Amino acid sequence: MSTRASQQAVYLQTKPWMPFNNGILRRVVVVLAVVAFLVWAVNELRQPDTLPIKKIHALGSFVKVDEAMLRTVIAETIEGGYFAVNVSDVQRAVESLPWITSASVSRIWPDTISISVVEEKATAIWAKGGLVNHQGAIILPFEESYPVGLPVFDGPVGMERNMTEFYKTAKQVIAPLGIEIASVNLDSRGAYTLELSNEINVLLGREKIESRLERFARVYKKVLVKRAAEIARIDMRYSNGLAVGWRKLNKG
């Protein structure tokens, strides 16, 4: 072996070993310990008996839904303690109740669930089943919970919103006459007919509906109100006038 090779071999054998950095090792150990602690803590906090929910606060104006009903639904939905409660699940459960249009759910430290609800407002009975709310959507609460005195909407499926908007306008025109709208009928051709609370039918047709309605209100107030009990229907589908259909009154 040459002198040069021998010296290289000696050099390789005597190269100093770099020891592991004790500072890095300590940091790694600390990080692992923190992670392990966090995993343990999260698992413990999610246990059902850790910070259990003890109170339910229900907020809102309750007419068709009572606080006891909300408490029952929430209690059936809650699983686990404060940190384990899925507020989205609770919200969906509450909003699935009849007469609830929307709900918001939040947690209040350390043991409370707070829920705020907005009830549906019924505008009319839908002749094909259910109710029409103030936005023109169909809702399906139990029939025994229907409000008293609602008008009836009878029209093609899909026209609920249009009929609701028309009803709101018609109601403002009719109200000063001291009568109410008992039903709104919309036929397949798009023609409107109103039945009033005094059993008079007002035929408005498909065109210039609002102006015809306003003309009816003026004529009724000035001329027809005194003979309202004798009138069966009023046809407003004329350009400058109207036609009155009289009742056949029994005499004797």
Give the start-to-end residue ranges of the domains of the chain.
55-119, 122-246
Confidence (pLDDT) at 223: 94
Confidence (pLDDT) at 10: 47
Nearest to 116 by CA among 84, 74, 76, 146: 74
CA atoms within 13 A on the CB side of 156: 9
Confidence (pLDDT) at 6: 47
Q: Is the pLDDT of residue 26 over 50?
A: yes
Confidence (pLDDT) at 62: 83
What does the mean pLDDT of the chain come to?
85
pLDDT in tens, 163-207: 999 999 999 999 999 999 999 999 999 999 999 999 999 999 999
Confidence of residue 16 (pLDDT cuts 50, 70, 90): low
Protein fold of 55-119: Ubiquitin-like (UB roll) (3.10.20)
Confidence of residue 5 (pLDDT cuts 50, 70, 90): very low
Nearest to 141 by CA among 105, 74, 96: 96
Residue 148 · residue 119 · CB < 8 Å: no
Confidence of residue 63 (pLDDT cuts 50, 70, 90): confident
Q: Is the pLDDT of residue 56 over 60?
A: yes
Confidence (pLDDT) at 70: 85
Mean pLDDT is lowest, of 24-28, 160-164, 180-184, for: 24-28
Higher-confidence position of 62 and 138: 138
Other beta carbons within 10 Å of 19: 6
Hey, what CATH class is 122-246 in? alpha beta
pTM of the model: 0.75
194 - beta bridge partners? 184, 202
Confidence of residue 35 (pLDDT cuts 50, 70, 90): confident
